[in-house]
Structure 1
Amino acid sequence: MSVSWTPHRFSGGVLALDTANTVVLRGDARSFDRFADPAEIARFARAASVHRAAELGGRRLAVPEPEAIAPVVLDIRETTDRLFRNAVSAGGVGTADMPPFLRACATGLEDKAEEIGRPGKPFGDPAVPIAFEAALAVSALSLLGEGALARLRICPNCNWLFLDRSRNASRLWCDMAVCGNRRKASRHYHRRRVAATRDGTEREVGNV
């Protein structure tokens, strides 16, 4: 079954984190990989071209052969997640996580003739598509900046990585409309269960 690449799936804030979050519920027994079918990489890239247009400077992501680039994409995804998830937990980047991350990004950029970082053209010429694996590498490398590292968060509901761009850096959820509301609903349900249990116990004691 194909994935519906809704705006919520792009709650990471940048392409690299959105890609890292294609593994759902990391560390949980219910975890699954939305890129298990390589065809989803191409569908994700089409959606990301729209949802990440500002980051990409309007440049479209190209995935001509999903199966061919899947190993590179997955390598960048996994090393990115490991590096920055550990950085959030430890409060800084671990040097042991850097070499595999940099090697993966280098592979994504290999044989690509790109000029990036120009004002107004952060990912190069918007008139020409860019290879998804190259854009993914550039996005991941951009997270090494001090400003990005300080705003990296892990959502306590879904365990996704995201950038907190709120004014006072106090954002808790990757998506308040989804994870925030789910956690609120869960707490409300729990309080009602506790209250109902307490009320039933009191009634039972009163009848003794």
Structure 2
Amino acid sequence: MAVSWTRHRFSGGMLALDTTNTVVLRGDAGRSFDRFDDPAEIARFAAAASGFRADELRGRVLAAPDPKAIAGRVLAIREATDRLMRRSVVEGVLATVDMPHFLNACADGLTASRERLSAEAPFGVESEPLAFEAALAVSALSLLSAGIMSRLRICPNCNWLFVDRSRNGSRLWCDMAVCGNRQKARRHYSRRKEEVVNG
């Protein structure tokens, strides 16, 4: 069944984080599943990301014309990014043991790219579509900046990685309208249940 790539699925705040979050309920072996199990979803995700991540991509459209051919590179970047960034959130430091795998995965994503990147145009300036795996590598590498790493969070509801862009850095949920409301509903239900039991 095709995934509905809605705005909520892009709650990570950056393309690389949105991609790591395509593994739903990561870490919960009984309920976790991978939205990229069907490689066709990679192309559909890339098309949706072109709109939802237009600011980050500076208007570049993403292309994944042969998702089966790039699936290995995409999944390698996704998993290496998740491992490195998730550990950095939990431990507060980058683990050098994870860096070679991460950097190699990103390099593989850029191998076929003939882009000319700069600080002003991190995703290039060409008018043609940008290969999804190349854009994913650039986005993943940009996570290493101190300004972003210090604001990486893990949503306590869904376990997604996200960038906290709130002014005071106190955002708890990847998406207040979804995960925040679910947590509020759970707390309300628990309080009501406790009142009934103790009442």
Q: TM-score range by the shorter chain?
A: over 0.9
How far off is 1:118 after superposition? 4.5
Partner of 2:129: 129
SS of the equivalent of 1:43 reads: helix
Does structure 2 conserve the Cα–Cα contact (< 8 Å) formed by 1:76 and 1:104?
yes
1:39 aligns with 2:40: yes
Does structure 2 conserve the Cα–Cα contact (< 8 Å) formed by 1:118 and 1:124?
no
- Which residue identity lines up with residue 23 of structure 1 in the other structure? V
Q: Distance in 2 between matches of 1:40 and 1:70?
A: 10
Does structure 1 conserve the Cα–Cα contact (< 8 Å) formed by 2:77 and 2:136?
yes
1:59 aligns with 2:60: yes
Q: 5+ residue gaps in structure 1?
A: 200-208
Q: 5+ residue gaps in structure 2?
A: none
Q: Distance in 1 between matches of 2:126 and 2:84?
A: 29
Q: Distance in 1 between matches of 2:107 and 2:119?
A: 20
SS of the equivalent of 1:174 reads: coil
Partner of 1:93: 94
How far off is 1:126 after superposition? 5.1
Q: Deviations 1:49-79 (Å, cap 9, x if unpaired)?
A: 0000000000000001000000100000000
Q: Distance in 1 between matches of 2:126 and 2:48?
A: 16
Report percent identity of matched pairs. Answer: 68
SS of the equivalent of 1:125 reads: coil
Larger radius of gyration: 1
How far off is 1:198 after superposition? 1.3
- Which residue identity lines up with residue 161 of structure 2 in the other structure? L
Partner of 1:154: 154
SS of the equivalent of 1:153 reads: strand
Q: Distance in 2 between matches of 1:167 and 1:139?
A: 22
- Which residue identity lines up with residue 66 of structure 1 in the other structure? P
Q: Distance in 2 between matches of 1:198 and 1:111?
A: 65
How far off is 1:197 after superposition? 1.2
Does structure 2 conserve the Cα–Cα contact (< 8 Å) formed by 1:60 and 1:126?
no
Partner of 1:202: none
SS of the equivalent of 2:171 reads: coil
Does structure 1 conserve the Cα–Cα contact (< 8 Å) formed by 2:110 and 2:137?
yes
How far off is 1:116 after superposition? 1.5
- Which residue identity lines up with residue 189 of structure 2 in the other structure? Y
Does structure 2 conserve the Cα–Cα contact (< 8 Å) formed by 1:143 and 1:149?
yes
Q: Distance in 1 between matches of 2:126 and 2:34?
A: 30
Q: Distance in 1 between matches of 2:60 and 2:122?
A: 9
User: Cα RMSD over matched residues?
Assistant: 0.8
Q: Distance in 2 between matches of 1:184 and 1:165?
A: 21
Provide the TM-score with structure 1 as the length reference: 0.93
SS of the equivalent of 1:4 reads: coil
Task: Tell me the matched-pair count.
Answer: 198
